[in-house]
Amino acid sequence: MKRRPLAATGIEVSPLGLGTVKFGRNQGVKYPQGFELPSDREMRELLALAFGLGINLLDTAPAYGLSEERIGRLLPNSRHDWVIETKAGESFHDGESHFDFTASGIRQSVENSLRLLKTDYLDVVLIHSDGDDARILRETAALDTLLHMREEGWVRTVGISSKTVEGGLLAYELGCDVVMAAYNPAYTDELPVLAAAVAQGRAVLVKKAFASGHLDQFGGTDPVGHALRFIFAQPGATSVVLGTINPKHLRDNVAAALEALGA
């Protein structure tokens, strides 16, 4: 897969990214079916397969349970072969999400991610919104703290995993390079964020491309292909983050993406 520039950051990412929530957490998730966490061997093999298929973008977060720690232990190839995107502001323990957007909370989260991922820098750190995007961006220290950590060299670029159009647009206004926004054939509310990315030279990482596994919402005989064609028709979609622990699904997703991209 031909890599794409992540705004003007100098980072290049594959048009498909691998979401890793299923690497570390199977409680409190919105997928239609339950699942077991993969073994270390299964996870190593899936990461190697992803890289072999051309994927270099990994999406993780402290809220994904053991995901960061397991990636830090099991990541194949050189760290520099991967673009690691994580988040700050949300953690998950005792079966519940907990949010902390204070300066100390954000800095501690990033420092913990660096330790768990066994790296001295993070390519992308996104604020993990609780849904009140505008308040987080305007009234908390979360963004300023990440921007300071970017200046200090711990983070290459920053943004927000937003829940609202207002939040995505405001993030660009306040100097973020990247927004993670939801977009699929059954949910187009955040299309203005993708349009703004094109107009302003910013990047969008698309989440919930398959509606968290609820592909029946899309109809038709090829819902995966339909979703990817629909999303990649938007020039603002830099990369689509898809979470899977199934090697066949990963191969099929890559094949469908290549077809949608005309590659």
Which of 20-34, 59-73, 187-201 has the least mean pLDDT?
A: 20-34
State residue 94's pLDDT score: 83
How much is the average pLDDT of 68-86? 96
Average pLDDT, the chain: 96
State residue 32's pLDDT score: 81
State residue 219's pLDDT score: 85
State residue 31's pLDDT score: 82
- Global pTM reads 0.96
- Band of the pLDDT at 220, cuts 50, 70, 90? confident
How much is the average pLDDT of 137-163? 98
Domains in the chain: boundaries: 4-261
How much is the average pLDDT of 35-53? 96
Q: What percent of the chain has pLDDT over 70?
A: 100
How much is the average pLDDT of 4-27? 96
CATH 3.40.50.12280 given to domain 4-261: no
- Band of the pLDDT at 30, cuts 50, 70, 90? confident
3-state secondary structure the chain: CCCEECCCCCCEECCEEEECHHHHCCCCCCCCCCCCCCCHHHHHHHHHHHHHCCCCEEECCHHHCCHHHHHHHHCCCCHHHCEEEEEECEEEECCEEEECCCHHHHHHHHHHHHHHCCCCCEEEEEEECCCCHHHHHHHCCHHHHHHHHHHCCCEEEEEEECCCHHHHHHHHHCCCCEEEEECECCECCCHHHHHHHHHHCCEEEEECCCHHHCHHHCCCCCHHHHHHHHHHCCCCCCEEEEECCCHHHHHHHHHHHHHHHCC
